A = this chain, B = another copy of it.
Amino acid sequence: MNNHTTLADTPSSDAPALTPAFSPLYQQIKGLILQSLQSGEWKPGESIPSEMELAARFRVSQGTVRKAIDELASDNLLVRRQGKGTFVATHAEQHVQYRFLKLVPDQGDLNTEGPAQREIVDCKRLRASAEIARALALRAGDAVLQVRRVLSFAGVPTILEDLWLPGGPFKGLTAERLTAYHGPMYALFETEFGVRMVRAEEKIRAVLPDESQSQLLQVPPSTPLLSVERIAYTYNNTPMELRRGFYRTDSHHYHNALS
């Protein structure tokens, strides 16, 4: 039962022996739970087995399962609810919608403004440029989906987004389905394509809009915009979306907490 050293622990060989490769039990359990999440054994929004059940299944103590779940919860992959169970995190029906959108109104919050109006400007298939391919870990020339949309708050067009998705996982995505779906786009990706965005990285710059951008956002071409380039990842650090957002910041700002 104290078998801390499962696989991957080669005590001595002619390997460089740089990484001792010691991995605590709870990390291994974490990996096993992750596999189950990835394989779809438990779907977004559903509850996973209780700590006791998992402890029995993996032949470890409840405390070890607990620590594994703790980490997955702090990674926002699971959500604990006392008295009810532990649930697979989802972008849908999450009390905090728009988990990855950090643009907020200067006064009030997103709820004050009511829901955003969304308009799909464009949605087409094309072949990945070298740049897009690199970002999505594809080969240049692979099929990708390109979407352009505008988000408006209180009737004011505020966000213009271009996004690129790998053609394979998102086969069948059309402008119609995007338009028909009400709710966060990442929720649609979950339910319709089984793609769960788990984390993302953003690179932010200040830019001036080109002609089409200034038209769609209804601002003069001299209006500086926030350029937000995001790469969103599923499990295994697999990039699944490249998104270039252009935010008007005349009555909104990008909010970030540092600690």
Question: Hey, which bits of chain A sit against chain B, CB under 8 A?
Answer: 74-76, 99-100, 102, 198-208, 222, 224-227, 230, 247, 249, 253-259
Please indicate the chain B residues that have their CB under 8 angstroms from the CB of A256 in the complex.
102, 201-202, 204, 256
A259 and B102 alpha carbons, distance in the complex (Å): 12
Inter-subunit contact A201/B249 (CB<8 Å): no
Please indicate the chain B residues that have their CB under 8 angstroms from the CB of A206 in the complex.
206-207, 224-227, 247, 249
A253 and B198 alpha carbons, distance in the complex (Å): 23
Set B204, B230, B249, B258: member contacting A199, Cβ < 8 A: B258
A sample of 22 cross-chain residue pairs with beta-carbon separation below 8 angstroms, ordered by A number, consists of A99-B258, A100-B258, A102-B256, A102-B258, A199-B258, A199-B259, A200-B258, A201-B257, A202-B256, A203-B255, A204-B204, A204-B226, A204-B253, A204-B256, A205-B249, A205-B254, A206-B207, A206-B224, A206-B225, A206-B249, A208-B224, A224-B224
Inter-subunit contact A226/B201 (CB<8 Å): no
**Min C-beta distance of A11 to chain B, whole Å:** 20
A201 and B226 alpha carbons, distance in the complex (Å): 18
Please indicate the chain B residues that have their CB under 8 angstroms from the CB of A259 in the complex.
75-76, 198-200
For A201, the closest partner residue in chain B by CB is B257
**A contact face: mostly helix, strand, loop, or mixed:** strand
For A197, the closest partner residue in chain B by CB is B258
A227 and B99 alpha carbons, distance in the complex (Å): 23
For A76, the closest partner residue in chain B by CB is B259
Please indicate the chain B residues that have their CB under 8 angstroms from the CB of A230 in the complex.
258
Inter-subunit contact B199/A253 (CB<8 Å): no
Which 8 interchain pairs have the tightest Cβ spacing? A224-B224, A206-B224, A205-B249, A206-B206, A204-B254, A199-B259, A203-B253, A200-B258
Given contacts A208-B224, A224-B207, A224-B208, contact A202 B249 (CB under 8 A): no
Please indicate the chain B residues that have their CB under 8 angstroms from the CB of A227 in the complex.
206
A127 and B23 alpha carbons, distance in the complex (Å): 57
